[in-house]
Each structure stands twice: as structure tokens, then as C-alpha cells.
Amino acid sequence: MNNRSQKILPVIMPVMMAPKARPDDRFRLQRWHGFALVAVLITASIPAFAATDPARASMFEVLQRWMPLLLKGFVFNIIISISAMAIGTVAGAVLGLGQISLIAPVRKISWLITQFFRNAPWLVLLFFAMFLLPFELKIFGLTIPLPDWLKAMFGLSLPVMANVSEIVRGGVMSLPSGQWEAAESLAFSRQQTLWRIILPQCVKRMLPPWMNLYSILTMATVLASIVGVSEVMTLTGQALAAEGGRSDLLIPFYSFVLFLFFIYCYPIARWTVRLEKKFAVIT
């Protein structure tokens, strides 16, 4: 059999559909492309390695030396993220319920607040909280200092609040209206319907976007470094400065920070996807 007789007619192609390599693809990535890419990356990083003078500590030693401090900073990031999430969730739930309120002014105002904080950049909101909150509060002669990290926490919880509010509204809206009608026919009051019938069903649906939001918030905690909270990014900058601004340390240090966030956020992302699949509404 020669080559020509084996030529596939386009008509029968659907039977052997993609994804499968086909000879008429003009551009095909092959395994060697990957190797070439890795080779280019390694060559590119050689200057960084070559710059390492044997008299100075190697970058891995330096990184190891600073690692406990950086990890401490990262734990602080996580603490900020968890507390901001807690504040934001509580405030957002209230705001979200306000958005589905039967009282028109409450609904309008909740909607406005939600939209305002949802459409403002996180960094601007963070500045907002940093500069406009006082550095200490005086309540009944009691002085409560407001340290930077606390203000950053409030600043970050503002956008979280708005997003949670939308999640709550979306969750309630996603339920079929039959649920409301059935509850009404069973003589449940509106409050009872909401607490006993609607919200318990919503929680399951709100969980994946809520976790997604948490992951976004965790990644946003580094913004606090811009306003001077000593979290992992600030500490990284300080560590780099303390090592005398060696340029070969930049890549390992920043990669390390990226890596920290990756190993924290990636499992959350995978879990979210799994929950999404599990709770998916079958239509």
C-alpha cells in the first residue's frame, strides 16, 4: 500500500476527531519544544549562578537563614486573611440579606454600598482604611490603639464584605422560587422561611465562591506591604536589603514568596473546584 491511498478524506474525519495529532496541523508543539524551553530558562539563569562569588554565602544558605523570619511573616499574612474574612463575611451576610430585604430603602442602600465597594480597587480601599481610620480610638476615656495591621485588616475586609454580599444575594436568587412558595403555603413567616428553608440550602451553594474569595483575599494580603505592615513581602524586602542588595538573591527570594502562596492557595483552589462539581445544580 503506498502512501497516497492512505490519505484521509476530510469527510470521514469526524469519526477520528480531535484531540488527536493530525498531519495537516501547521504548528505542532512537540516534546523537544518543552526541552528547548527548559534549556533556554536554565541558560538564562546562568548569569545569576555565575555571579555567586564563592566567598559569599550561596543563595540557598542565605534563603535558609532567612526562612524562619519569612515563614513567620507568612503566618501573619494568613492571620490577617482569616480575620479579614471573618469580619467581611459577617458584615457581608448582613449586607446581602439587606439586598433581598422587602423594605425598598434598605435594599437600595445595601445595593449601593455593595456596588461601591465591589467596584473600587482593593489597594485604594486599603489606603482608604489606612489613612482615614484614626491611629487610636477613645471610647469612654479608654484609649484603644489601632495598629497598622488592624487597619489593614479592616481595609481588606471592605471589599470582602461587598463580595460576600453579592454571593449571599446570588445564592438566595439561585434557589427555585418554588421553595419560597412551598414555605408560604406551609404558613412559614418570611423570617422562618429565610432561616429554616432558604439559607440552609444556600450555604452549600455559597461555599465554593466563598472559598474562591478567601483565596483571592489571601493573595491580596501582600498589598498590606505597600502601606507598611510587616508581613511576608515587607520582610522579604528587608531581608534582601540586609544582605546588601545582592541581585542574585532576588530570584530565589521572590520565588520563595510565590511558592509559599502557591502551596497555600493551590489546595484551596482544587478543593473549590471539587466542591463546585459536587454541588453543581443539575439542570
**Which chain residues interact with other proteins by CB under 8 A?**
10-11, 13-14, 17-22, 24-31, 33-34, 37, 44-45, 47-48, 116, 119-125, 127-128, 131-132, 215, 218-223, 225-226, 233, 247, 250-251, 253-255, 257-258, 261-262, 265-266, 269
Cβ proximity to other proteins: between 146 and 250 the closer is 250
- How far is the C-alpha of 281 from the C-alpha of 283, rounded, in Å? 6
Closest approach of other proteins to the CB of residue 141, in Å: 27
The candidate with the shortest Cα–Cα distance to 158, out of 220, 86, 88, is: 88
Query: What is the closest distance, in whole angstroms, from the C-beta atom of residue 196 to other proteins in the complex?
Result: 33
CA distance 196 to 183: 10
CB atoms within 10 A of CB 13: 12
In the bound state with other proteins, the residue whose beta carbon lies nearer, of 17 and 139, is 17
CA–CA distance, 69 with 238 (Å, rounded to integer): 11
Residue 23, classed as helix, strand or coil, is coil
**Residue number, 37 or 186, with CB nearest to other proteins:** 37
Task: Please check whether residue 96 is in contact with residue 194, taking contact to mean a CB–CB distance below 8 angstroms.
Answer: no
Q: From the CB of 119, what's the least distance to other proteins, in Å?
A: 5
Nearer Cβ to other proteins, position 31 or 138? 31
Residue with smaller CB distance to other proteins, 194 or 239: 239
Q: How far is the CB of 258 from other proteins (least distance, A)?
A: 5
180/261 with CB nearer other proteins: 261
- Nearer Cβ to other proteins, position 98 or 248? 248
Residue 98 beta carbon to other proteins: minimum distance, rounded to whole angstroms: 20
203: which 3 cell numbers?
A: 450555604
Cell 476527531 sits on residue: 17
Report angle CA 151, 152, 156 to the nearest 5 degrees.
120
Residue 138, beta-bridge partner list: 143
> Shortest Cβ distance from residue 220 to other proteins (Å)?
7
DSSP assignment of 174-239, as one string?
HS-HHHHHHHHHTT--HHHIIIIIIHHHHHHHHHHHHHHHHHHHHHHGGGGGTTT--SHHHHHHHH
- The least CB distance from residue 48 to other proteins, in Å, is 6
Instruction: Quote the distance between the C-alpha of residue 235 and its chain's center.
Output: 21
